[in-house]
Structure 1
Amino acid sequence: MKNDLLQPLLDSDPLLRQYENALTRRLKRSRETEAKLTQGKMSLGEFASGHEYFGLHFRNNEWIFREWVPNATSVCLIGDMNRWKPKKAFDLERISKEGVWERRFPSGMLRHGNLYKLLIRWQGGEGERIPAYARRVVQDPLTKIFSAQIWNPPSPYKRKTDPASTFKLQLSSFTPLIYEAHVGMAQEEGRVGSYREFTEHIIPRIVRAGYNAIQLMAIQEHPYYGSFGYHVANFFAASSRFGTPDELKELIDTAHNAGLLVLMDIVHSHAVNNEVEGLSRFDGTLYQYFHDGERGLHRAWDSRCFDYGKVEVLHFLLSNCRFWLDEYGFDGFRFDGITSMLYLHHGLGTDFRFYDQYFDGNVDEDALAYLTLANKLIHELRPGTVTIAEDISGMPGLAFPNSGGGIGFDYRFAMGGPDLWPRLLEKTPDEHWHIGEIWRELTNRRKDEKTISYTESHDQAIVGDKTIITWLMDADMYEHMRAEDDNLRVNRGIALHKLIRFITLATADAGYLNFMGNEFGHPEWIDFPREGNGWSYHYARRQWHLADDPALKYQFLARFDREMIKLAKRFRLLEFPAPHLLYEHEDHKILIFERDSLLFAFNFHPSLSRADYCFEVPRGKYRMIFNSDAQEYGGCGRLVSDQEHSTFFNTLRGKKRHMLSLYLPTRTVLVLERISSEACLKSPVETAEVTSDSVELR
C-alpha cells in the first residue's frame, strides 16, 4: 500500500523504494510510540515535562521530591539536613504501582546549598544514589565524592534574551559556522576553566573570528573529566566543575547578545557505568533504564545502553531535551554517537557500503523512533531550533524532515573530510595526492539532506591522534614558528593548512565546523588529567597567546581563518547550490570550480607555479578578491590584490570556448568574483595565447 507520508523521502532517493515496507514499519512504530506516550490526552511537549514532576522542587512554600524507583523496598533522602543518617521524617512513600516515590517537606526543612542523595534499599541490597533528575551535582574537593546539591538561590539569574527571538533574527539566512568548544580547557593555565572565564574571554574571540554558533561540549555532568563529557552520569545537571547554573545561563545570554547561537553536545547514546554517581543499577537492577544482559553493555565504550523501547526511558530522555531548551535557553543540539544508537552492533567493524546494511535486521528501531520523536519535540517546542546528527553510517533519511517521512535532523555531519585528510597526510606525499579523490570525497554526500563539513574536530586533537597541523609540521612547529624563521617544513605546513581548510569550507554543503584553537594550528594535543600523565592539566588547555603574538606565525593562520569565514559570510556561500567542477588536472595538481559568482582555483602542486594557466570558464570579467599567498596570511605575496581578468575566445576541437588565464602560484588558492558577464576580449590571438602550461580541455 502506498504511504503518502513517505513519498517525499522515496522521491528524494529512488534506491529506497525497494525498502518501502521497512520504512513504513519504522514510521508506524514512531507513530505508535508517540500514541503510547501521549495516550491521546496530551501533546508530546506536555509528555516531555518529566523534569517538572520528578526531582526536587520548591512550590507553594513546600519542597516536593519524586523519583521513579520500581524495584525499591524503601527510599530515604539523606544529606546535610539529617547528617547523612536515614530518618523516618525523610522517608519517601510509594505512590504508584509503577514505582513512583514521593515526599513533601516543610519549607525550612531543606535549604539552598544542602547536599543530598537517596538511600535506596531493595531485596537483598542497598545503595546511595544521586537522584536521576538532579539539576545540580557537585564533587567534594577532598573526598572526591559526588552529591546532589539544592540550588535555590535567593536571587536567581534572570534570562535577558529570548532564544526564540534570536532565531527569528537569524533563521531566514542562518548558515551554521560552528565553533566547537570545551569550557574547562578553554583557558591558558593548567586547570579547569569556568563558565565565567569563557563568557569574558572566549566568546569575544569567537565573535572576532566570525563564527555564528558555539557548540559546547561536556555540559552534562560527568564524573571523569577525561571522558571529554561523553560518559554522562547526571543528565539534567550542568557540570559544576565549570561553575554554577546561573553562570552557564549568563554565558548563553552573553552569546545571544553577541549574535551567537549556542548548541549543546547532548549524549543520549549511552550512559556512564558508575552506580553511585549514575543510573546504572539505580534501583538494584541492571535493566531499569538500560537493556538487561549483554545488550545493555557497550563493551567498546565501557558504558550502558538505554532501552529506547521503555516508556519511562523515553520520558526521561525526551524531558531531558526539553529541559535544556527551557531551563538554559540552548538553541539546539548535536546528538553524539548516533551510529551507536541506530545499530545493535553499534556500527563497530562495519563499513556501510551497501543499502542493505541499513535494513538487515541490525537496526534498533526503538532508537529510530526515539530520535524521530526527539526531533519532532524539539522543533515543535521552538521552531527553528537546530539539531545535528553525528553518524558515520550514512543512514538514509536521518536529516530528512519528519513531515516527509524522515527522522528529522536539520543537519548531519559530513564525516568523510576528517577521515580523508589524516589518511592523506599520513600515507601519501602531497605530490601524489589524487585531486579527483579529494573532490569526490568532499562533495560526496546525500543530495536530499543538509550536511556540515569540517577538517577536524576534537576527535583528531585528542592524545593518541594528530591534528592536521601536527601531521604537517610535527616537531618543527616547536622550533620554527617565529615570523622571521624560514623553515621549509613549516612553510609547507602553513600553505597546506590553509588549502585544506579552505577547500573544505568552499565545497561544504550547508555548514562548517572548527574545533577551538585548530584554526590557528594549536601546537599541542589534548590530554586530560589521568593516572598515565600524573593527573596533569598541562595539555587540557588552549594557548591563545600564540595566535596573539605578532612575532609568531600562528597569527597568519588565525588571520587567514578569520578572513575565510568572513568571505563565506559576505557572499553567503553555503546558501548556494553545490559547487560546480570546471577543471581538474592530476599531474598539475590543479582544481578549479565555481559556486554562484565565485571562482575557486587551487594549485596543490608542491613546487610548480603555473604562469598564464588557461582554462574554460563562464564568459565575463573576474576580480581576484582573495588569495592564500598573501603575506598577511604567511604567504610569499606573489600576487597583486584586486587584479581584474577578462575571458577571451579560444577555439578547441571546432568549438569556441571562453577562457581565463591566471598565474597560479604553488600551494595557493585564488578566489575570483565574476563582476560582469559581458566583458570579453574580442581579439584573443592578439591578447592571450594558450601556453605550454595550459591543458587541453576535455
Structure 2
Amino acid sequence: MSPKNVRPPEIAGSPQDTYLFNEGRNSQTYRLLGAHAQTAGGVVFRVWAPNARSVSVIGSFNGWNGASDPLVSLGDSGIWAGYVGHAAVGDLYRFEIVAADGYRRVKSDPYARECELRPANASRVAAPDCYRWNDAAWLRRRAQTDWLHAPMSIYEVHAGSWMRHPDGRLYSWRELAARLIPYALEQGFTHLELLPVSEHPLDESWGYQTTAYFAPSARYGTPDDLKFFVDACHQAGLGVLLDWVPGHFPADEWALARFDGSALYEHEDPRLGLQLDWGTCIFNYGRHEVKSFLLSSAHCWLAEYHFDGLRVDAVASMLYLDYSRKPGEWLPNRFGGRENLDAIDFLRQLNTLVHGEFAGALTFAEESTAWPMVSRPVNLGGLGFSMKWSMGWMNDSLRYFHRDPLYRRWHHNEMTFGQMYAYSENFVLPLSHDEVVHGKGSLIGKMPGDNWQRFANLRLLLAWQMTTPGKKLLFMGSEFGQWREWSEQRELDWALLGEARHVGVLRVLRDLNGVYRERPAMHELDFDAAGFAWIDCHDADHSVLSWLRRARDGRFVVVVCNFTPQVREHYRIGVPQLGDYAELINTDSAFYGGSNVGNGGRVSAVPGNWMHLPASLSLTLPPLACLVLALCD
C-alpha cells in the first residue's frame, strides 16, 4: 500500500480538534490521535511527529513491515495519518519513524489505549468503548457533595501487592473488586487511592515511570476490567482516586523520549529536559501539543474511567527550575527566577479543566515546599488544587514518634508547630507509601520501645492523624501494623491478622474512622481554624496535648493524648460545658490490645474555671494513648 497524493478526508479528523491540539487547548486529543477501530472494519492511525521524514504503522497485521502501511502527513499540524483496512481490534502495533537525520526509530503509540503485557511493550488496538456504567447515582451524589466539609479517609493501595494468588500471580481488577472493596468499606475508608495504573514496563517503579498515559496496565486485565472495578467501588459507596504522573517520563528508546528524532515531548537542553534524580525526562510544558497531551490524559482517566480525582505526583519538581540541581545545572526563567512559569500555567489549566468539567472531582498536590496558595482557586492567584499533602505534618509527626518517650518533652514543638500553618492550605495528612520503603521501615518499625510500646505508639499515631484537622491518607498494611517494609514484589503480610495485637490495630483504625465520619466536629471544619482550639499545648513536661474539635453548629469533641508510657492519674483539663462525657475512643482499651487503663467509659465535668474554660474533667490518662470524649446525648 502506498500513500495517496490527495489527503483522504476520512483520516484527517476534525479540523477544529487539530487546531485546538496545536493550540494546547484540546483536552480530548485521545479521540483524535492514536488507533481508532472503525465500525465498518479497519483502523485509522494518527500520530504527532512533526519533525519526521516519514512515518509508517507496523504491527502483527503486516508482519512488522514498514513498507506496507505508510502514513501521510497532514501538513503543518505535524500529524501523520492513515487507514489500514487489514488491521483490527486486538492487533499489536508500533510506529516506524524515520527522522530528519535518516535514523529509523520504532516507537509505541503515545496515545495507545491498550498495551502489551510487560516485559513486551507494543501498543494494542483497543475496542471502541462500549462499557455500560451503573454508577449514575454515585456521580450525582459526588456533584452535590460539599467536599470541604465532608469526611475523607483515603486508603492508598498498590494494586499489585495488596493481595495475590497463592502462587504469586497478580489479582485482576475484577478479583480485587471482590476482595478490596468490602475490606476498605469494613475499615471505614471513604476513598481508595491507587498508585499509578498507567502502563509502565518496570514493576519496581510502582507506576511512576509511565510509558503510556492513556492505557491502564495490562498486568491487571483489560480497560473494561478497570472500569468494572471503579464502577463496583462507586456502587458500593467508595470513591476512587488515581495517582497521576505529569512531572516526568522515562527515557526508554521505544517510548516518548526523542519521539520523532527530536526532543518532542521534552526539552532539548538537559538543564531543562532531564530529571537528574530519577534519570527521566521532563515534559516541555511550554509546547502547546504537550499541554494538549497531558490535559487529555487527565481528561481520559476522569471521563472514560470515572475516577473521582487525581493525585498529582512530584509537583515541587514541576514548579522549580532548580529542583534538586546545583548552580549552573539549570536555566532561569525569562524574569531571571527559578519558577517554571510554563508548568505553573499548565497546572492552573489542569485544575480549571478538572473542576470545570467533572463535577465533584478533586485534585491533590504532592508538593513538599512552601509554595503559596497551592490549594487556592486560580482566579485568586492560586494553583487551583483541591488539596495539598501536608509533608510538614508528616515529617514532624514521624520524627517525634521515632523518639524515645523519655526525650519527647524536649521536642514538644514538633507536635504543636503544625497549627501555625494548618489552615494556609486545604491539607491532607499523609502516611503514605513513601514512608515505608527504601530502608525507612514500616510504620510500626519506626516506633521505639518493646513490642507492647511499639503497638501502643502505632495506635496513638493513627489516633493523632485521625483527630488532627485535615483529610486523612493511610498506605496499605499500616492499618494492621505490618512489620516488614513494603515491597511491590509480594503481597501484604495478611497472616499477621491471626495475632491479637495486629487485630487490635485494625480495630482501632476502624473505630477511629467511624468516629471521624460520624461526628461532624471531627471533619466539618478540617480546613478552618474555627474547628480547632488547644485546651493545653504547653504541657511538655508530661508530653500531653489536649484540644477541641468543633462542628459548624458548635458541637465539639475533646481529644487528649499522652505520649509517654506513664499513666497519669487525676489529670485535669478544661472543657466548654458541664455534663457527662463518654469515651468514644481509648486507644489503650484491651479491645485494641492495650492495658485497659481509662475512665470506665464515662466521666463527669465539674464547674469552675480551668484553662480559661468554664468546667473541667479529672482524667486518668492511659499510657501511650489517645482519649476522644464527647458530651453524652
1:347–1:393 contact (8 Å) kept in structure 2: no
Provide the C-alpha distance between the structure 2 equivalents of 1:166 and 1:131, rounded to a whole number of angstroms.
36
Query: What is the aligned partner in structure 2 of residue 47 from structure 1?
Result: 26
Q: What residue identity is the alignment partner of 1:48?
A: S
In structure 1, the residue corresponding to 2:81 is in which secondary structure?
A: strand
Please list, as runs of the form range in 1=range in 2, the aligned pairs for 1:507-518 lying within 5 A after superposition.
Answer: 507-509=468-470, 511-518=471-478
> In the superposition, relative to structure 1, how do residues 446 and 568 fare at CA in structure 2: closer, same or farther (>3 Å)?
closer
* Aligned pairs for 1:144-155 within 5 A: 144-152=119-127
How far is 1:650 from its partner?
A: 5.7
Match of 2:568 in 1: 610
Partner of 1:75: 55
CA distance in 1, matches of 2:289, 2:391: 33
1:592 counterpart residue number: 546
Q: 1:213 aligns with which of 185, 191, 206?
A: 191
- AA aligned opposite 2:617: L
Match of 1:92 in 2: 71
User: What is the one-letter code of the residue matched to 1:460?
Assistant: E
Q: Distance in 1 between matches of 2:141 and 2:199?
A: 27
- The residue that corresponds to 2:83 in the other structure is 104
Equivalent in 655, 663, 679 of residue 620 of structure 2 = 663
Residue correspondences, number: 592
1:251 aligns to what? 229
Counterpart for residue 7 of structure 2 = none
Amino acid at match of 2:377: P
1:447 is paired with a residue whose SS is coil
Structure 1 residue 616 displacement after superposition: 2.5
In 1, the alpha carbon distance for the partners of 2:476 and 2:421 equals 25
Deviation at 1:287, TM superposition (A): 4.1
Q: Distance in 1 between matches of 2:296 and 2:222?
A: 21
Equivalent residue number for residue 647 of structure 1: 606
TM-score with structure 2 length normalisation? 0.88
Q: Kindly provide the amino acid, as one letter, of the partner of residue 26 in structure 2.
A: F
Q: Which letter maps to 2:384?
A: G
Q: Please say if residues 95 and 101 of structure 1, whose CA atoms lie closer than 8 Å, have aligned partners that are also in contact.
A: yes
Q: Is the 8 Å Cα contact of residues 73 and 79 (structure 2) preserved in structure 1?
A: yes
Q: 1:650 to 1:332 in 2, by over 3 A?
A: closer
Question: Structure 1's 60 and 195: CA in aligned 2 closer, same or farther, altered over 3 A?
Answer: closer
* Cα separation, partners in 2 of 1:287 and 1:67, compared to 1, 3 Å: closer
What amino acid does structure 1 have at the position aligned with 2:576? P
Q: Which amino acid aligns with 1:395?
A: W
Q: Which residue of 1 aligns with 2:416?
A: 440
Q: How does 1:200-599 map to 2 (within 5 A)?
A: 200-276=178-254, 278-346=255-323, 361-426=337-402, 428-434=403-409, 436-445=412-421, 447-454=423-430, 456-472=431-447, 489-509=450-470, 511-528=471-488, 537=489, 540-547=490-497, 549=498, 551-572=499-520, 573-576=522-525, 577-583=530-536, 584-596=538-550, 597-599=556-558
> Once the 2 structures are TM-superposed, how far is the Cα of residue 664 of structure 1 from its aligned partner?
1.2
Distance 1:626 1:489 in 2: 24
Amino acid at match of 1:249: K
Deviation, structure 1 residue 544: 2.6
Distance 2:143 2:432 in 1: 29
Contact kept in structure 2, 1:264 and 1:332, CA below 8 Å: yes
Q: 1:23 — aligned with what?
A: none
Q: CA deviation at 1:640?
A: 4.9
* Superposition map of 1:56-75 within 5 A: 56-59=35-38, 61=40, 62-75=42-55
Conserved? CA contact 2:92–2:123, under 8 Å: yes
- Give yes or no for contact 1:45–1:377 (8 Å, CA) kept in 2: no
Report what 1:633 is aligned to. Answer: 592
Q: Partners of 1:656 and 1:440 in 2: how far apart? A: 20
CA distance in 1 between partners of 2:584 and 2:401 (Å): 29
Alignment partners' CA distance in 2, 1:253 and 1:94: 40
Once the two structures are overlaid, the 10-residue window that deviates more, 360-369 or 282-291, is 282-291
CA contact (8 A) 1:262 1:330 kept: yes
Distance between the aligned counterparts of 1:651 and 1:408, measured in 2?
43
- What letter matches 2:494 in structure 1? W
Q: Which amino acid aligns with 1:574?
A: H
Rate the CA distance shift 1:580–1:324 in 2: closer, same or farther, 3 A. Answer: same
CA distance 1:222–1:204, change in 2 (3 Å):
same
Q: Is the 8 A contact 1:412 1:452 kept in 2?
A: yes
1:133-172 correspondence runs (5 A) = 133-139=111-117, 144-152=119-127, 156-162=130-136, 164-168=139-143, 170-171=145-146
Q: CA deviation at 1:579?
A: 2.1
Which deviations, in whole Å up to 9, do the C-alpha atoms of 1:14-61 show, x marking residues without a partner?
A: xxxxxxxxxxxxxxxxxxxxxxx999989x997211110001112452
Distance 1:469 1:390 in 2: 24
- Residue 169 of structure 1 and its aligned partner are, at CA, apart by 5.7
How far residue 499 of structure 1 moved from its aligned partner, in angstroms, is: 1.1
Q: Which letter does structure 1 place at the counterpart of 2:512?
A: M
Report the counterpart of residue 6 of structure 2 in structure 1.
none
Question: The residue matched to 2:230 in structure 1 has which SS?
Answer: helix
1:417 positional shift: 2.8
Give deviations 1:325-352, integer Å, cap 9, x for gaps.
11111111000000000001125689xx
CA distances 1:120-174 after superposition (whole Å, capped 9, x unpaired): 111230111001101111136xxx3311111217x94322213632413644653
CA contact (8 A) 1:416 1:441 kept: no
- Cα offsets for 1:557-582 (capped at 9, x unmatched): 00000000100011031212442111
SS of the aligned residue for 2:446 comes to helix
Q: Which moved more, 1:260-269 or 1:50-59?
A: 50-59
For 2:89, the aligned partner's letter is: H
Q: Which amino acid aligns with 1:582?
A: I
SS of the residue 1:120 aligns to: strand
The answer to whether the 8 A contact 2:196-2:245 is kept is no
Which secondary structure does the structure 1 equivalent of 2:400 belong to? helix
Measured after TM superposition, the shift of residue 618 of structure 1 is 1.8
The verdict on how the C-alpha distance between 1:291 and 1:191 changes in structure 2, with shifts beyond 3 A counting, is: farther
Matched AA of 2:217:
S
Q: Which residue of 2 aligns with 1:34?
A: none
Q: Is the 8 A contact 1:443 1:507 kept in 2?
A: no
Tell me the TM-score normalised to structure 1 length. Answer: 0.80
Structure 1 spans left out of the alignment, 5+ residues: 1-36, 351-356, 474-487, 529-536, 677-698
When residues 342 and 156 of structure 1 are mapped into structure 2, their CA distance, relative to the original with a 3 A threshold, is: same
Q: Residue 447 of structure 1: CA displacement? A: 2.2
Gaps of 5+ in 2: 1-15, 328-332, 551-555
Alignment-derived partner of residue 155 in structure 2? 179
Tell me which residue corresponds to 1:476.
none
CA distance in 2, matches of 1:634, 1:315: 53
Call closer, same or farther: CA 1:407–1:38 in 2, change over 3 Å.
farther
After superposition, the C-alpha distances for 1:46-83 in whole angstroms (9 at most, x for unaligned) are 72111100011124525221110011111111111011
1:127 to 105, 112, 136: 105
Partner of 1:685: none
